[in-house]
Structure 1
Amino acid sequence: MSHKEKEKQKLVARVRRIRGQVDSIERSLQSEYNCADILMLLANVRGGINSLMGEVLEDHIRNHMMAPEGEPLPNLELAEDLIDLVRAYLK
């Protein structure tokens, strides 16, 4: 299995976890629910989405915004700074 395929499977697994969390929110809203519990579930989903977005953005920066394979990486430091900025913003 290729490296990219493994990464894709990890991202899909994250989406499935988020889907499970959203389903939990729906079930909680349909039953007798505690607002504090719903807010915690919502915060968990938001964190999961932000984390997933960070991973996809990082992959995009590394795989599409830097020099193609085999070529020198003139903007490696700039790309790493951008990744750090994105991660900080999504926390």
Structure 2
Amino acid sequence: MPYSPEDKKRVITRLSRIKGQAEALARAVEEGTDCSALLQQIAALRGAANGLMAEVLDSHLRELFGSSSNATRPAVIDPDAEIDALMKMLRTYLK
């Protein structure tokens, strides 16, 4: 979860772009746009979503394993359990 104002703003900006791409894709479908153009728009939308996921995952990893001086960092009780949970999450999203 992005906590800093800069991180939140960056995520909101990405989400706004993704929303715009999704709306443009819906319009293209309604207008009967050629399949090759639709596929290109879908690939761009998927890339944007993957970029957002990478950014949020990066933030999560930095919170989890960052320096102990970070006040927003949650306490890690069992690092092995946290790594197992992270790997389970990654496997889910990488399908």
TM-score (norm 1): 0.70
Q: Give me the identity figure in percent.
A: 31
Q: Which residue does the alignment assign to 1:81?
A: none
* Amino acid aligned to 1:26: A
Partner-residue secondary structure (3-state), 1:68: coil
Q: Which residue does the alignment assign to 2:15?
A: 15
Q: Distance in 1 between matches of 2:31 and 2:66?
A: 49
* Amino acid aligned to 2:29: L
- Cα-to-partner distance string for 1:34-81 (whole Å, 9 max, x where unaligned): 1001000000000000010000001000012334216xxxxxxxxxxx
The count of corresponding residues between Structure 1 and Structure 2 is: 73
Off by >3 Å, runs of 4+ in structure 1? none
Q: Counterparts in 2 of 1:1-91, with a 5 A limit? A: 4-69=4-69
* Amino acid aligned to 2:24: S
Partner-residue secondary structure (3-state), 2:4: helix
- Judging by fraction of residues, say which structure has more helix: 1
Gaps of 5+ in 1: 71-85
TM-score (norm 2): 0.67
* Amino acid aligned to 2:52: L
Gaps of 5+ in 2: 71-89
* Amino acid aligned to 1:29: V
* Amino acid aligned to 1:20: G
Two-structure CA RMSD over aligned residues (Å): 2.5
* Amino acid aligned to 2:15: V
